[in-house]
């Protein structure tokens, strides 16, 4: 009986040792895999991943400066600025994009096909950069968008100054007008602080 008892204890001990050895082996392999993966992410890909992380957490926003007012010699106001409500979409925040566009089209009365065409044009830029859908949407459309803001993820309204010519039929040739800077003007070097999409005075006092 003693010999049988010793044999059973020895067999159980060997069985547990084998199971424990297998478990330790798999745990060690798992830690090695995790260590190799951490080394790859931190050392080999660390610089690129850090750059992507910074780009994801910082969003640059351009602020358009208001242009100066224009008066006549009697100090009567001829040109001032008014707010323009420009509607844009941030693709990263607007998922699912198709559903967001479908809802937006109902509120601003623009066919979803027209909005999707503008979205597709902006897919080449950063997904965090706003893609302009419509300029100067008007106060009724603005009210509809703001009232349903929680249903329109990724939809933003930017208030930008827009020129208001008080006497539209008078002195147009003297006052001039604003227009978006062209590619040729950007290449000319005369506007070093401007980027694509900026508005500049084209002629006249502007």
Q: What is the DSSP letter of 69?
A: P
Pairing of the two strands 77-89 and 177-180: unpaired
Q: Which among 132, 107, 130, 129 has a CA at the least distance from the CA of 117?
A: 132
- Average pLDDT in the 50-62 region? 69
Q: Is 70-175 a domain of CATH 3.20.20.70?
A: no
Domain positions in the chain are: 2-57, 70-175
pLDDT band at 78 (very low <50, low <70, confident <90, very high): confident
- Average pLDDT in the 13-42 region? 79
Q: What is the DSSP letter of 1?
A: -
150-182 confidence digits (pLDDT tens): 888 889 998 888 888 888 777 777 887 777 778
Angle in degrees, CA 10, 14, 16, rounded to 5? 120
Q: Can you say whether residue 68 is alpha, beta or left, with left for phi > 0 and alpha for psi between -120 and 50 degrees?
A: beta
Which has the minimum average pLDDT: 89-98, 101-110, 126-135, 147-156?
126-135
Which has the minimum average pLDDT: 57-61, 97-101, 103-107?
57-61
Task: Write out the two tokens for 1.
Answer: 């009986």
């Amino acid at each position: 009986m003693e010999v049988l008892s010793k044999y059973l204890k020895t067999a159980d001990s060997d069985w547990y040792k084998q199971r424990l050895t297998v478990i330790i082996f798999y745990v060690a392999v798992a830690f090695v895999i995790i260590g190799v993966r951490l080394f790859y992410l931190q050392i080999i890909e660390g610089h690129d991943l850090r750059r992507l992380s910074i780009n994801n957490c910082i969003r640059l926003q351009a602020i358009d400066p208001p242009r100066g007012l224009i008066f006549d010699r009697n100090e009567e106001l001829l040109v001032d600025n008014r707010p323009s409500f420009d509607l844009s979409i941030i693709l990263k925040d607007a998922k699912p994009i198709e559903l967001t566009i479908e809802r937006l089209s109902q509120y601003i009365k623009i066919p979803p096909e027209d909005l999707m065409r503008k979205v597709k044009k902006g897919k080449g830029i950063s997904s965090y950069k706003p893609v302009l859908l419509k300029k100067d949407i008007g106060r009724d459309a603005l009210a509809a968008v703001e009232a349903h803001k929680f249903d329109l993820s990724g939809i933003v309204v930017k208030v930008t100054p827009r020129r208001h010519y008080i006497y539209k039929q008078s002195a147009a040739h003297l006052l001039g007008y604003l227009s978006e800077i062209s590619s040729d003007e950007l290449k000319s070097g005369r506007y070093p602080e401007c980027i694509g999409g900026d508005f500049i005075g084209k002629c006249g006092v502007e």
